[in-house]
Amino acid sequence: GAVVSQHPSWVICKSGTSVKIECRSLDFQATTMFWYRQFPKQSLMLMATSNEGSKATYEQGVEKDKFLINHASLTLSTLTVTSAHPEDSSFYICSARTSGSPEQYFGPGTRLTVT
Amino acid sequence: AQKVTQAQTEISVVEKEDVTLDCVYETRDTTYYLFWYKQPPSGELVFLIRRNSFDEQNEISGRYSWNFQKSTSSFNFTITASQVVDSAVYFCALSGQGNTGKLIFGQGTTLQVKP
């Protein structure tokens, strides 16, 4: 149980285009989802926290107009990287948790390369 | 402010050696959770353990053991009789009671186990 999927697992896009990444909780209802970014040989950095039906809360330094997060249902959150640039190339990981539980379940990650 | 420090950036051992990965944390919360994750080259995070702040009992799971000491704010991880398959990046993480469950990750320790 407690499986989180991400789609796509990897994507290559051209600079200036937008990319959408999906995060789904397959067998539980995720009241909260988190989006992390990980650059090579670095740690995971939280980008934003999203609660179902509410606007996402972004961490300091993360551009909310560039990284659009939607958490429209209890099983799906999306991250859209708008007008992507090469410096946005990174490994994006989502996680999900249910209300009241300290446990977070991580997706397998999406590797984004912007050319 | 909450912070997790993994002072060891890289560790290299020979198979069958024991190895300890250090984790020191900072928090003002009285209730918090500590985690260890393994990240193999595939990138997907593998959950290893969760500990809450009220449970200082050490835990052993097969070749893995954890030593939680609130007095020194440490949550160290020991692998006994290491194997090549243990080679990965290991992250220690902290989740406090007042931060909506978001995880604060340490910098990670890259473990290389040589045959």
**pLDDT of A5-46, one tens digit each?**
999 999 999 999 999 999 999 999 998 999 999 999 999 999
The C-alpha angle A82, A79, A3, rounded to 5 degrees, equals 160
- Say whether B101 and A102 touch across the interface (CB within 8 A): yes
**Chain B, window 13-42: residues with a beta carbon less than 8 angstroms from a chain A beta carbon:** 33, 37, 42
Could you tell me the pLDDT band of residue B1, with boundaries at 50, 70 and 90? confident
- Look-up: residue for tokens 């002072």? B7
Inter-chain contacts counted by CB atoms under 8 A, chains A and B:
51
Q: How far apart (Å, rounded) are the C-alpha atoms in residues B1 and A47? A: 17
Q: How far apart (Å, rounded) are the C-alpha atoms in residues B60 and B68? A: 12
> pLDDT of A76-109, one tens digit each?
999 999 999 999 999 999 999 988 788 889 999 9
Residue A31's DSSP bridge partners are: none
Q: How many CA atoms lie within 13 A of B102 on its CB side?
A: 21
Q: Find all residues with CB under 8 Å of A106, minimum gap 6, and list them.
A: A4, A93, A94, A95, B37, B44, B45, B47
A53 and B CB contact within 8 Å: no
Residue in chain A lying closest to B95 (CA) = A102
